[in-house]
Amino acid sequence: MKRFGIGGAALLLALALGYAMLELGPARLDLRPAVAAHLADSGVRHPVTAVLLNYRGYDTLLEVAVLLLALFAILAVTPPGPARRPAPADPLLQMLARLAVPLMLVASFYLLWAGAFRPGGAFQAGAVLAAALVLLHLTGQLPGWPTPGALLRGGLAAGLLVFLGVAAALLIEGSLLQYPPAWAGRLILLIEFCLTGSLGLILAGLFLFLCQAEGERR
């Protein structure tokens, strides 16, 4: 009975949403001209990157803080254990991983650099970096991370700290995260560079800290 009730309600919601979207008129508030008008002052040439790191830098700053917070919570709920290394994979797979990782590093840097003028940026680059670390772990060449040491902690927090530092330094200009147009490009690149490293470590940490807990049961 409950199944049918919830299923029916979900179907009704889907139909209502679909109908609303088909009947939707053009957007009352168009932000595209505003984004395009200030693109020259934003320091980058791609509108999405400009929105992420300049117009709505707040969002990105808090997003990195949320990521770091999730990682802290994961560290808090997984009891520390000895560093676990999965059984070494097939030598062929290990070789392939070793070949792929340098290419992934190059791809990550390219994505970071490309973010200024085409789709790309710190988050995509960080995701590729994290994938490289996870790949090394899965082929048995990188042990899972136990409780992070000082170096790893520094790396995890560097992105957020640099971002906060830039935001605080810009307070003398008057308002938080309002880059002077002449410096915007360089500041955004600095922030994105540090964010890429930290995001790679954080996203990889979500996996590598979590897989530590496996050994704890029996």
Partner 1 sequence: MSTGLLFALVGAALFPLGAAGLLLQRHLLRRILAFNLMGSGAFLVLVGLAQRQDVPDPVPQAMVLTGIVVAVAATALALALTRRLHALTGRLELPEAAHD
Minimum Å gap between C-beta 155 and partner 1 is 17
Minimum Å gap between C-beta 99 and partner 1 is 27
Task: Give the type of residue at 164.
Answer: L
Nearer to partner 1, 48 or 161 (CB): 48
- Binding of residue 212 to partner 1 (CB under 8 A): no
- Binding of residue 157 to partner 1 (CB under 8 A): no
Minimum Å gap between C-beta 95 and partner 1 is 30
Q: Which of 1, 23, 27, 28 touches partner 1 (CB under 8 A)?
A: 27
Q: Which of 41, 90, 173, 216 touches partner 1 (CB under 8 A)?
A: 216
Match 């991983």 to its residue by tokens. 97
Both tokens assigned to 62: 């808090």
How many residues in the shown chain lie near partner 1 by CB under 8 A?
47
Options 48-56, 80-88, 93-101, 155-163: segment touching partner 1 (CB under 8 A): 48-56
Cβ-contact 175, 124 below 8 angstroms: no
Q: Which of 21, 92, 151, 182 touches partner 1 (CB under 8 A)?
A: 21
- Residue closest to 105 by CA, chosen among 191, 192, 197, 188: 197
Both tokens assigned to 203: 């996203």
Nearer to partner 1, 48 or 93 (CB): 48
- Binding of residue 35 to partner 1 (CB under 8 A): yes
Helix axes 150-169, 57-77, angle to 10 degrees: 160
Cβ-contact 217, 84 below 8 angstroms: no
Nearer to partner 1, 97 or 120 (CB): 120
**107-120 core/surface letters (b: 16 or more CB in 10 A; e: else):** bbeebbbbbbeeeb
Minimum Å gap between C-beta 96 and partner 1 is 26
Both tokens assigned to 217: 């049961």
